[in-house]
Amino acid sequence: MGKLDGKVAVITGAGSGMGRASALLFAEEGAKVVCADVSGQEEATAKEIGPNAIAVHADVSRAEDVQNMISAAVTTFGRLDVLFNNAGLSGPHVLLEDTDDDVLERLYSVNLRGVLLGMKYAIPALRASGGGSIISTASAMGLVGRGEQAAYGATKGGVVALTKNAAVDHGHENIRINCICPGMIYTGMAGAPADNMDAVPDRQIPVPMRRYGSPREIATAALFLACDDSSYITGVALPVDGGYVAE
C-alpha cells in the first residue's frame, strides 16, 4: 500500500529537477499527479508516469494558469489532496544594487507570487476534500544569509513567512501548510541534466555533509509532508540541506 493511495497531487515545476523527482515518487506511492510546468517538459514526466498523470502547461506567476491547473486536478481526478508549490527560479550572484529590475520582478513573480497564488486557489479545493497538504519549495537562503543573493533570498524568505502565516489560518480546517528549504541540490541549476538521470557528482562542497543533495532527497521530504506520516505537522520550514543552515 502506498503512502498516497487515493490522493490527488498537483506538482509545479514537474518537468525537471526536484519537481520531476517528486512527481515520479508521488506516483510510485499511489497518487494521481498533475504535472505542471512552463517548460514543455511536463508532458514527458506525465508520459513516464502513465495513466495516473496529466500534464498542464502553467506559468505560476499567472493567476489564470494556476486556477486552470487546480481545476484540471478536480475535473480529471475528482478532488485535490496535495499541492507541491515547487516551481522557482534562481537569481544571479550579484549585489542587490546591481540586480536588474526585470530580474527582480521575475524572481518575485515566480518564487513568491507563484506560491501565494498556488495556495490561494488550492485552499478551496483542499477544503472541499476535507483537508490536505500544501508544500512549497523555499530555500536555505530563506533562513540564513549568503553573499550576493539578497534578491533571491528575499523571495524565499517570503515563502517561509507565507507558509507560517497561512498554516495558522488554516490549521483548523485540516489543511497543513509547510515548506522545504533545500540547500545545494544537484539539479539543472547546479549543472545536472533536466531528466535527473546522471548520478550526483562525488565531490566535496562546503556544507557539513560535504556533498550535493539529490532531487530524490527533496522528493522524499515532500512525500513525508504530503502523507499522513506528518499529520500533526504544520507551519514548518524544513531544511534539507546537508547541515548548511546549522553552521
Return the active site residues.
152
- Dist CA 142 CA 41 (whole Å): 27
Angle CA(160)–CA(162)–CA(166) in degrees, nearest 5? 125
Cell of 55: 500534464
The closest of 159, 109, 107, 110 to 134, measured between CA atoms, is 159
- Dist CA 144 CA 127 (whole Å): 33
Specify the pairing of strand 237-240 against strand 32-37. unpaired
